[in-house]
């Protein structure tokens, strides 16, 4: 491992010795203008070299992710003539310049070192803690953002819809408890409206769980919604859409247990945008068509991760498929081995029982239709090793186009009537 940052550090210490006008102490900081430019050139060099010495792999990966993310984002802005495509606030800086935003993290630790507040060992410990936490958070949120942008691009959208905040919206976002007292409050979600703006930022309202965006897909000839940042919400819908199949949230919790409950992303399809408005209320969640989790190879090798993925597959019963998207390039043999360790859901799927309602009136008002959810057995969980090449998400759309559920939503065109001799013999 290179120690070029320490060479730069020694250069800076020598520069400060030759320029006694520079005073850096716990209670005094003075860097005169005639030496300031040269001082900060060395100061910044230490920080950048430290990152390149110790975090070259994640930094290069962040640069690749940033480049692909911004390319796809700009393509969507142009294609859809969007005024704005807002990404999550926690990753904007890193996406715009991974190197500069990594370097910023070491500003305070390096000054603490120069002031004598900490020694070299403590500087390295503090810097490593900051950098690891920052890279981990960045990849967690930026990978999700990249996948959603890539899905949007591959859907070939020509119309964009969003769900506006409902009336009497709660002021603060929070994660509620299912079936709690707040869940007795009932509202109706608003209708979807066409928009020239898309936001992947965290939710700004909390009454219901809404999708990030709804689009009309030319690829599928359907309306498609993308949902993420799942959470429990406090409000119950007045009545549930009868065109949508619903799962009781209590059953999801009972299946998954006290682990990572939610998938990272879900896809829903329908013939009308308003059938995609509501993802969940306080008691029910719409049966997804596809669920996705984003995991690196290291975590996929952990038994606990695979157990969570299997439980999510059992709980959400996605109609078309369950995909694990890996930003790592996994060797074919390793990919086959990891996929083999993820259990198929099985052929016999029973629709979960509805939870008891407090009264027959409540049940009539808010329970789903009596028919069981249209849930097909699934072959298992597919792992896609994609790096940052959006075309490698193609198997998701192949699964959709070849699914029974898709054929029900978009029946094939009727065969032309046979031409021949009329039956009356004329």
336-366 per-position pLDDT tens digit:
889 888 866 553 333 434 443 433 334 434 4
* Gyration radius of the chain over CA positions: 27
* Confidence (pTM): 0.85
What's the whole-number mean pLDDT along residues 408-420? 69
pLDDT value at residue 191: 92
Higher per-residue confidence, 239 vs 415: 239
- Residue 369 pLDDT > 60: no
Instruction: Determine the pLDDT at residue 370.
Output: 41
* H/E segment holding residue 197: strand 197-199
Q: Is the pLDDT of residue 165 over 90?
A: no
* HSE of 69, CA atoms in CB hemisphere, 13 A: 30
Beta strands 193-194 and 236-237, pairing class: unpaired
Residue 279: other Cβ atoms inside 10 A = 24
The predicted pLDDT at position 68 comes to 97
* Torsion angle defined by CA atoms of residues 153, 88, 228 and 129, in that order, rounded to the nearest 10 degrees: 120
Q: Which residue has the tokens 């790592």?
A: 328
Domain boundaries, the chain: 4-134, 156-409
The pLDDT assigned to 406 comes to: 94
Q: What are phi and psi of 189, to 5 degrees?
A: -70, 155
Backbone angles phi, psi at 161, to 5 degrees: -130, 150
Structural contact between residues 280 and 244, judged by C-beta atoms closer than 8 angstroms:
no
Residue 376's CB is within 10 A of a number of other CB atoms, namely 15
* Region label for 346, one of left (φ > 0), alpha (ψ between -120 and 50) or beta (otherwise): left
Mean pLDDT of all residues belonging to the chain: 85
Retrieve residue 48's tokens.
């950048």
Tell me how far CA of residue 191 lies from CA of 161, 245, 274, 277, in angstroms: 10, 18, 6, 7
**3-class SS shares of the chain: helix, strand, coil, % to 5:** 45, 15, 40
- pLDDT by residue (tens digit) across 175-198? 445 455 444 577 888 899 999 999
Confidence bin at 123 (pLDDT 50/70/90): very high
Average pLDDT of span 77-95? 93
Does residue 409 surpass a pLDDT of 90?
A: yes
Tokens, residue 369: 């239709």
What is the per-residue pLDDT for 183? 46
Query: Which pLDDT score, from 0 to 100, does residue 207 have?
Result: 77
Whether 376 shows a pLDDT value over 70: the answer reads no
Please compute the mean of the pLDDT values over residues 393-412 and round it to a whole number.
Answer: 92
- Cα–Cα distance between 276 and 212 in angstroms, integer? 11
pLDDT band at 418 (very low <50, low <70, confident <90, very high): low
How many C-beta atoms surround the C-beta of residue 268 within 10 A? 24
How far apart CA 175 and CA 360 sit, in angstroms, is 28
Distance from C-alpha of 88 to C-alpha of 111, rounded to nearest angstrom: 30
Q: Which residue has the higher pLDDT, 323 or 351?
A: 323
The answer to whether residue 149 scores a pLDDT higher than 80 is yes
Would you say residue 35 has pLDDT above 80?
yes
Q: Compute the distance between CA of residue 420 and CA of residue 64 in angstroms, rounded to an integer.
A: 61
What pLDDT shows up at residue 195?
95
Reported as half-sphere exposure (CB side, CA atoms, 13 A), residue 214 has a value of 25
237, 281 Cβ separation under 8 angstroms: yes
What's the rounded Cα separation, in Å, for the pair 330 and 334? Answer: 6
| Whole-angstrom distance, CA of residue 336 vs CA of residue 163 | 40
Q: Which of 48-52, 255-259, 386-390, 404-408 has the lowest mean pLDDT?
A: 255-259
Over residues 314-340, mean pLDDT: 92
**What gap in Å lies between CA 86 and CA 220, rounded to an integer?**
25
In the predicted model, what is the mean pLDDT of residues 311-328? Answer: 93
Q: Is the pLDDT of residue 375 over 80?
A: no
pLDDT value at position 379?
Answer: 56
CA 325 to CA 44: how far, in whole Å? 36
Q: Confidence band (pLDDT; 50, 70, 90) for 164?
A: confident
pLDDT band at 287 (very low <50, low <70, confident <90, very high): very high
């Amino acid at each position: 491992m290179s120690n070029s940052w320490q060479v730069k550090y020694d250069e800076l210490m020598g520069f400060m010795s030759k320029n006694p006008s520079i005073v850096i102490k716990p209670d005094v900081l003075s860097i005169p203008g005639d030496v300031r430019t040269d001082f900060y050139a060395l100061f910044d060099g230490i920080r950048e070299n430290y990152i390149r010495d110790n975090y070259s792999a994640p930094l290069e990966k962040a640069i690749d992710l940033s480049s692909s993310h911004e390319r796809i984002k700009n393509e969507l802005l142009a294609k859809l003539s969007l005024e704005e495509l807002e990404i999550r606030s926690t990753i904007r800086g890193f996406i715009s310049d991974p190197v500069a935003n990594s370097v910023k993290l070491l500003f305070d630790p390096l000054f603490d070192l120069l002031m004598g507040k900490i020694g070299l060992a403590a500087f390295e410990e503090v810097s490593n803690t900051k950098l690891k936490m920052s890279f981990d958070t960045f990849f967690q949120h930026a990978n999700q953002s990249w996948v959603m942008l890539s899905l949007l691009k591959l859907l070939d959208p020509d119309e964009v819809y969003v769900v506006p905040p409902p009336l009497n919206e709660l002021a603060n976002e929070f994660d509620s408890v299912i079936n709690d007292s707040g869940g007795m409050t009932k509202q109706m979600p608003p209708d979807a409206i066409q928009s020239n703006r898309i936001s992947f930022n965290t939710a700004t309202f909390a009454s219901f769980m809404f999708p990030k965006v709804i689009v009309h897909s030319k690829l599928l000839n359907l309306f498609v919604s993308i949902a993420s940042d799942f959470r429990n919400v406090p409000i119950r819908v007045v009545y549930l859409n009868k065109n949508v199949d619903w799962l009781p949230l209590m059953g999801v919790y009972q299946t998954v247990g006290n682990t990572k409950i939610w998938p990272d992303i879900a896809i829903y399809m329908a013939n009308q945008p308003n059938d995609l408005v509501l993802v969940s209320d306080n008691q029910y969640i719409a049966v997804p068509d596809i669920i996705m989790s984003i995991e690196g190879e290291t975590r996929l090798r952990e038994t606990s991760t695979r157990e969570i993925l299997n439980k999510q597959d059992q709980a959400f019963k996605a109609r078309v498929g369950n995909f694990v998207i890996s930003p790592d390039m996994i060797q074919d043999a390793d990919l086959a081995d990891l996929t083999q360790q993820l259990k198929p859901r099985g052929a016999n799927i029973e629709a979960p029982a509805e939870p008891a309602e407090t009264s027959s009136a409540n049940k009539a008002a808010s329970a789903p239709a009596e028919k069981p959810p249209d849930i097909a057995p699934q072959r298992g969980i597919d792992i896609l090793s994609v790096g940052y090449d959006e075309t490698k998400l193609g198997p998701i759309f192949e699964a959709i186009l070849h699914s029974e559920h898709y054929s029900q939503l978009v029946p094939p065109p009727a065969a032309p009537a046979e031409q021949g001799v009329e039956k009356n013999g004329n």
